[in-house]
Amino acid sequence: MNLHTKLLERETAGRPIRIGLIGAGKFGTMFLSQACRTPGMHVVGVADLNVARARDQLRSAGWEAAAYDAPSPGEALKARRTMWGRTRRH
């Protein structure tokens, strides 16, 4: 059984792999462009030191605005949307 089949099974069962992405740079954006088209994956949140970049990279990766407008992690999980924001800097 391959990864695609396993992800489809998770999608069908309503148990997608939940992902939190830290960093919306080049690699993160490449991942986002695939994740929005991959059944069985749910990017719950995207965090970056530059808040605007987190939002802009979701858009540039082909995400619909309604897919990344969750106001909280709980709402993102409940509605299967994505939230974006800032990572904490210590």
Q: Is residue 90 part of a domain?
A: no
Which residues, 6 or more positions from 60, have their beta carbon under 8 angstroms from its beta carbon?
A: 29
In the chain, how many H helices and how many E strands?
A: 4, 3
- The reply to whether 7 falls in a domain is yes
Q: For 25-49, what is each residue's pLDDT tens digit? A: 999 999 999 999 999 999 999 999 9
Task: Tell me which residue has tokens 């695609």.
Answer: 4
In a domain, 59, yes or no: yes
- Give per-residue pLDDT as tens, 45-54: 999 999 999 9
On whether residue 78 sits in a domain, the answer given is yes
Q: Is 70 within the bounds of a domain?
A: yes
In whole angstroms, give the CA distance from residue 9 to residue 46. Answer: 25
Question: Is 25 part of any domain?
Answer: yes
Which structural domain range is residue 18 located in? 3-85
Number of folded domains in the chain?
1
Contact 37, 45 (CB under 8 A): no
**22 part of a folded domain:** yes
